[in-house]
Amino acid sequence: MTPPANAELPPTEPGRETKPLNVILFGSYDSSLRPRVAVLGEGLAETSKVTQINSPLGMSTADMISAATSLTGAASLLLAITRAWISLWRMSRKHRTHADLIVVGYMGHFDVHLARALWPNSRIALDHLVGLADTARDRGLATGLKYRALGCLDQAALSRADIVIVDTAEQLGELNASIQERAVVVPVGATRNWFEQGPAMPPPPIRVCFVGLYTPLHGAVTIGKAIALLADDDRFQFTMVGSGQDRAVTEIAAGASEYVSWIDWLPAEELPALVATQHVCLGIFGTTPKAQRVVPTKVYQGLAAGNLVITSDTRPQRRALGESARFIPAGDEVALASELRRVADQFAASANESWTLADGREDLFAPGKVVAPLCAKRVSMTDTRSLAPGPALSPSAWLRFDLFRAHLEELSRSRILEIGSGRGAVAARLVAAGHSYTGVEFSAQASQATTALLDSVPGGSFTMVSSLSELNACQRFDALCAFEVLEHIENDLSALTDWVSRLEPGGLVLLSVPAWPDRFSAADIEVGHFRRYEPAGLAALAREAGLVEIEVRLYGYPLGDLLDRVRGSIAIRTQKSRRTAPNPTLEERSKGSGTWLQPPSSANSVIRLATYPFRQIQRHFPERGAGLILVATAPLTE
């Protein structure tokens, strides 16, 4: 059974040598509607300390998809989410300390954003058992713009998770390559109460059950047609439990058979006992693309309750269930009716026919077994610290930092060299995350501001110098950062080559520069730029400096382009206002660039929130923008 909301589940194996994970099961899920969440909770509790923070949204999957595809429905959904989030926020206040893992139950497409805000320094796993867009397409509920909008919601949710949980290799294959690297396959399984049921009374009749939604995925109409084909066979008694869009069509397809009972639904706690009285559990028989990629909850539950399972012959089901189930072609009512007759004939031929699985079935589908890949995935990952909180970044800095951030957060405690610390906004984040930081800043004013800021970070390890030459020639670093620096240096190749020489083999390089030489403006003059860069030119420069695995992309569209124009206008007015005064030298302008048009340190949350939609938009336009970012590595051999 699922623990009550906000309840703690103590580890069931306190004697294990490995330290138990501190896990929070979080979200607006309803485990009575979505038992997968309860399986994860029980499985994790076998080796970890699990706290459940749950406020059910009160909406089914169909309700959520329908609401998300209409204006009035979206308003109702937003209200329901707001209520649930207020409750979740209140319950989470006692558990804001670091957790090893936050598991967001499905459908957690919205909840994962709240989880990320509440636990910025914890690893977050999103149970992506079903996608909004995929489910809407499977049920014929959304096409065109609505389908694409749901797809955007899916991608936004996936981008917030450190671990993405899917249930089959086929579902894994549907994810983008970058997300697959963070994903893990965790079979659905069944909760313990399904394994605790006693054996069914032997036939006759042979009791056959279907428990689930009447949707195209489940192929309930195929079951109805098979019932009709068996209408004169009194060896069977069918129990059909559930509701959905195809319910009426399924009843019509079943005809007037007297050997079938229709039950709208049963409370979750009553389902195991009902299924355990059956002999055969029917799986899914749909022919939709999604039906070819999933293994439904009901087949695991049926096997756990001792049923013989008959389901469609798909690759994921055959892989997961093996010899524990019988398989027929999807959407084939004749094959289903024939298989059921074969079952009845086999029973008639042997009075000792067994209706339970062989010993060891719990090892295959029990909670502790199915969550093992998730636990292994988390243990293999280093702890993380969010770099979002900290001193204010300018809007432009937030745009580029959003694309660099994941690379920095994935670093274990490292020796990081930053060229051009500015006022220390990035430096403070790196030092607070536990990295050993060395900053090179040739503006005395900016260096003093950064030093004062870093001094305020408890336990921080940092060094500030005004030139690389002040460092030991043998000193090497694991990562190099230089944001908006290279364009200030006349001989950029010589400088970049020197920087790269300070890296350990395979060290990470993160750079940003302004893009497009034809956009060189008064703003570039005002801050002491020598140039702006073409994407191909920056990549060629990096190769010449000895870097490998080079990735270059544009960033900032469309906000960065607008900010570029605004800075240009301000620079023109600034330059006109000092016509009678001596113009600053190039060196003076370059030294002042780190403080020009910078926001107050306390404004970070406001700027972060204001730039959020633009940071999401820019990810879809890697070939447009006013700035360039480069990610590369130093060669593995010197």
Look at residue 433 in the predicted model and tell me its pLDDT: 85
pLDDT in tens, 263-299: 998 888 899 999 999 999 999 999 998 899 999 999 9
Q: Are residues 258 and 162 in the same domain?
A: no
Residue 633: pLDDT band (50, 70, 90) is very high
Look at residue 1 in the predicted model and tell me its pLDDT: 35
- Distance between CA atoms of residues 105 and 186, nearest Å: 13
| Residue (of 140, 44, 72) closest to 372 by Cα position | 44
Q: Are residues 200 and 97 in the same domain?
A: no
Looking at the chain, how many residues does it have? Answer: 638
- Distance between CA atoms of residues 213 and 210, nearest Å: 9
pLDDT at 181 over 50: yes
pLDDT in tens, 466-475: 999 999 988 9
Burial of 326 (0-12, 13-18, 19+ CB in 10 A): middle
Look at residue 298 in the predicted model and tell me its pLDDT: 93
Mean pLDDT of 174-183: 87
Look at residue 358 in the predicted model and tell me its pLDDT: 38
Which of 185, 216, 242 is a domain's end point? 185
Determine contact, residues 198/275, Cβ cutoff 8 Å: no
What is the rounded average pLDDT for all residues in the chain?
A: 86
Q: Are residues 358 and 320 in the same domain?
A: yes
Q: Are residues 623 and 523 in the same domain?
A: yes
Query: What is the distance in angstroms between the CA of the first residue and the CA of the last residue of the chain?
Result: 58
Q: Are residues 619 and 537 in the same domain?
A: yes
Q: Which two tokens stand for residue 559?
A: 């906000």
Mean pLDDT of 240-245: 92
pLDDT in tens, 33-79: 788 999 999 999 999 999 999 999 877 666 666 665 567 777 888 88
Q: Are residues 242 and 164 in the same domain?
A: no
Q: Are residues 276 and 319 in the same domain?
A: yes
Least confident segment among 86-100, 127-141, 234-248: 127-141
Does residue 157 form part of some domain? Answer: yes
Reported pTM? 0.65
pLDDT at 113 over 60: yes
DSSP element (H, E) containing 53 = strand 49-54
Q: Are residues 625 and 571 in the same domain?
A: yes
Does residue 422 form part of some domain? Answer: yes
Q: What is the DSSP letter of 515?
A: B
Mean pLDDT of 464-485: 93
Residue 121: pLDDT band (50, 70, 90) is confident
CA distances to 115, 301, 619 from 159, in Å: 13, 32, 11
101-104 and 280-282: which strand pairing?
unpaired
Does residue 371 form part of some domain? Answer: no
Determine contact, residues 76/98, Cβ cutoff 8 Å: no
More confident residue, 388 or 53: 53
Does residue 595 form part of some domain? Answer: yes
Look at residue 507 in the predicted model and tell me its pLDDT: 94
Q: Are residues 553 and 599 in the same domain?
A: yes
Q: Which two tokens stand for residue 168?
A: 């089959």
Identify the three-state secondary structure at position 308. Answer: strand
Q: Are residues 261 and 143 in the same domain?
A: no
Q: Are residues 494 and 354 in the same domain?
A: no
Identify the three-state secondary structure at position 533. Answer: strand
- Distance between CA atoms of residues 15 and 99, nearest Å: 21
Identify the three-state secondary structure at position 583. Answer: coil
pLDDT in tens, 392-429: 889 999 999 999 988 998 888 889 999 999 889 999 99
Does residue 379 form part of some domain? Answer: no
CA-derived radius of gyration, the chain = 30
Determine contact, residues 233/257, Cβ cutoff 8 Å: no
- Give me the domain span that covers residue 50: 8-185
Q: Are residues 202 and 172 in the same domain?
A: no
Residue 262, domain CATH: 3.40.50.2000
Q: How far is CA 151 from the centre of its chain?
A: 14
Which of 318, 347, 362 is a domain's end point? 362
| Residue (of 410, 338, 371) closest to 165 by Cα position | 371
pLDDT at 14 over 50: no
Which of 156, 185, 214 is a domain's end point? 185
Residue 346: pLDDT band (50, 70, 90) is confident
Does residue 387 form part of some domain? Answer: no
Backbone angles phi, psi at 264, to 5 degrees: -60, -50
Q: Which two tokens stand for residue 580?
A: 């009678």
| Residue (of 437, 424, 429, 427) closest to 384 by Cα position | 429
- Distance between CA atoms of residues 424 and 407, nearest Å: 19
Mean pLDDT of 67-92: 82
Look at residue 467 in the predicted model and tell me its pLDDT: 92
Look at residue 357 in the predicted model and tell me its pLDDT: 40
| Residue (of 33, 300, 49, 279) closest to 192 by Cα position | 300
Least confident segment among 46-55, 151-160, 510-519: 151-160
Does residue 332 form part of some domain? Answer: yes
Look at residue 2 in the predicted model and tell me its pLDDT: 38
Number of domains in the chain: 3
Look at residue 279 in the predicted model and tell me its pLDDT: 93
- Distance between CA atoms of residues 530 and 547, nearest Å: 22
Least confident segment among 82-86, 271-275, 353-357, 610-614: 353-357
Residue 523, domain CATH: 3.40.50.150
Does residue 459 form part of some domain? Answer: yes
Look at residue 138 in the predicted model and tell me its pLDDT: 60
